[in-house]
């Protein structure tokens, strides 16, 4: 048996990015609807909205079953299929760790 853990990111961690880090990372960050943020201020305001909503972490992609906005993905047991020991598929934001 292995465990799949969907990736998430710390809202507070992103708020602590320097201006240059934020500018660089905003090239690859989009809203849930696929649109880009118009400015660094708009991005940081959306992060503050997440904190106000009680979200400490946000999913990198669609939230999985059981996703907790305080702790992230609880992990999901999957059957042992012949795969590599560790894989990272960024298109699905999936991290798989084999025990």
CA distances from 98 to 4, 37, 95 (A): 8, 36, 10
At 2-13, the pLDDT tens digits run 888 999 999 999
In this structure, what DSSP letter does residue 63 have?
P
Please tell me the predicted confidence (pLDDT) of residue 61.
85
pTM comes to: 0.74
Specify the DSSP element, H or E, that contains 66. none
């Amino acid at each position: 048996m292995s465990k799949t853990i969907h990736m998430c990111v710390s809202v507070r961690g992103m708020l602590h990015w320097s201006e240059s880090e934020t500018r660089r990372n905003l090239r690859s960050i989009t809203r849930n609807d696929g649109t880009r943020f118009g400015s660094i201020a708009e991005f940081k305001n959306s992060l503050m909205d997440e904190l106000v909503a009680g979200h400490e972490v946000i999913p990198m992609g669609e939230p999985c079953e059981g996703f907790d906005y305080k702790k992230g993905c609880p992990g999901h047991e999957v059957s042992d299929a012949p795969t590599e020991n560790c894989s990272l598929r960024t298109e699905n934001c999936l991290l798989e760790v084999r025990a």
